[in-house]
Each structure stands twice: as C-alpha cells, then as structure tokens.
Amino acid sequence: MPFLFSLLVIALMIGALIDIITRDNVLVKHLPKMVWIIIVILLPLVGSLLWFAIGREYGEAGIPIPRMRRSERPPARTDVRPAPPTDTRTTEQQIADLDREIEEWRLRQEIEKRRHDGEAPTGSAEAGA
C-alpha cells in the first residue's frame, strides 16, 4: 500500500512539473514558474496539489474555480426620490374635488372682502354712537 501511494505522489509530481514547464508564463498565477517548480520538487504532494488548485490558470473549458473579483468603486450616487403618490380617484371625482376647492377659495375671498369692507363702516358707526 505505501508503494502505491508513493507511485501516485510521484506521478502527480511529474504531471505537475510537466504542466508547469510547458505552461505559458501568462497562465501561471501568484508565483513565477521557477518558484512553483522548486515548491513541487521540495514538497511533492502539497506542492503539486497547490499548483493544480491555485497556481495555474484554467481556460474556459477547464475546471471552473470561483475567484474573488477586484473591488470596484461603488456607482455614483443616484438621486433616489420617493415615487409620486398614486391617486385612486376617478377623473370625475378629481374634477369635483377641484370645483369644491375653487368654491371654498372664492368663499374665503368673499368673507375676507366683507370683513375688510365691513370693518371701516362698522368702526366709524361705533365711534359715533
């Protein structure tokens, strides 16, 4: 059994070394190729596993490995305004409400005008009595 394990470790190490040597420098991650070779030779099992896990760049058809993305700047602040309230009244109800409001304003103006006009004669009449 130990003999079989040793053969598997040696085969894994040879496979990792061949992969490191034949791989283009652009497809090697985190460390230079020479450092990866030294790691795989000095630590055959761990070095080979590290190489296949984090040292090589897999193509689109290879094993998908989730990677951390670089943090991007948060998008510019957008002006978030509350949505305008939705009016559930019908058009006829809205027109009727506007008519009542106009009538109310007209009555208020008339009351203010009467108060204003009524104060002058009332004030002088009271003064004479």
* Per-residue pLDDT reduced to its tens digit, 78-126: 767 877 778 788 889 999 999 999 999 999 999 999 988 877 555 555 5
* Per-residue pLDDT reduced to its tens digit, 33-59: 889 888 888 988 888 888 888 887 766
Contact predicate 44/11, CB 8 Å: no
Spatial distance between the Cα atoms of 14 and 62, rounded to a whole number of angstroms: 20
How many residues comprise the chain? 129
At residue 71, the pLDDT reads 66
Give residues with Cβ within 8 angstroms of 53, minimum separation 6.
65
Q: pTM above 0.75?
A: no
